[in-house]
């Protein structure tokens, strides 16, 4: 089964209807589209921080209703701890939410669709995270 996990930036573009044609095709060809629990939190945070209008909030809720949410798991937590520590030892300071998203994918062996390659390239190089870009 083909599963594609969306980073928050790709999820946001999907909600806004602003994905590239290449990424739209990728999503259409995936059996399942998923987001990490961290992405759910970020999307909800944005709606609150920026006082989104009700129609925009409906769009976020509709999007979240249509995707699989990757939950927190002990394996994800152990993966987060391992890759976070390794990145810091290499001198990389990576945002916690990006690390949680990467750990959610790595722990399950799933690819991550992102436009923020710089946020995840370290995990791709050292931890086997598979990145899907436009």
pLDDT for 90 equals: 95
Q: Taking residues 39-68, what's their average pLDDT?
A: 93
Give the single-character DSSP code of 51. T
Percent of the chain with pLDDT over 70: 99
| Distance separating alpha carbons of residues 134 and 108, to the nearest angstrom | 22
Confidence band, pLDDT 50/70/90 cuts, at residue 134: confident
**For the segment 83-133, what is each residue's pLDDT rounded down to a tens digit?**
999 999 999 988 999 999 999 999 999 999 999 999 999 999 999 999 999
Residue 57 is encoded by which pair of tokens? 């909030």
Q: Domain 3-132, what fold?
A: Rossmann fold (3.40.50)
Contacts of 6 (CB under 8 A, 6+ apart): 14, 27, 33, 34, 35, 39, 67, 112, 113, 114
| Distance separating alpha carbons of residues 64 and 43, to the nearest angstrom | 9
pLDDT for 8 equals: 97
Q: So where are the chain's domains?
A: 3-132
Q: pTM value?
A: 0.95
Name 4's bridge partners: 33
| Distance separating alpha carbons of residues 99 and 48, to the nearest angstrom | 23
Please report which residue ranges of the chain form alpha helices under DSSP H: 8-16, 21-29, 37-49, 54-66, 74-89, 96-108, 117-127
């Amino acid at each position: 089964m083909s599963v594609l996990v969306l980073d928050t930036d790709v999820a946001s573009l999907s909600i806004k209807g602003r994905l590239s044609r290449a990424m739209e095709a990728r999503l259409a060809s995936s059996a399942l589209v998923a987001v990490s629990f961290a992405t759910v939190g970020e999307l909800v945070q944005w709606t609150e921080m920026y006082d989104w209008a009700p129609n925009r909030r409906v769009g976020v809720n509709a999007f979240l209703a249509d995707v699989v949410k990757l939950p927190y798991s002990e394996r994800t937590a152990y993966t987060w701890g391992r890759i976070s520590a390794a990145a810091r030892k290499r001198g990389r300071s990576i945002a916690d939410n990006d690390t949680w998203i990467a750990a959610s994918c790595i722990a399950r062996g799933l690819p991550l669709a992102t436009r923020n390659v710089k946020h995840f390239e370290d995990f791709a190089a050292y931890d086997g995270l598979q990145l899907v870009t436009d």
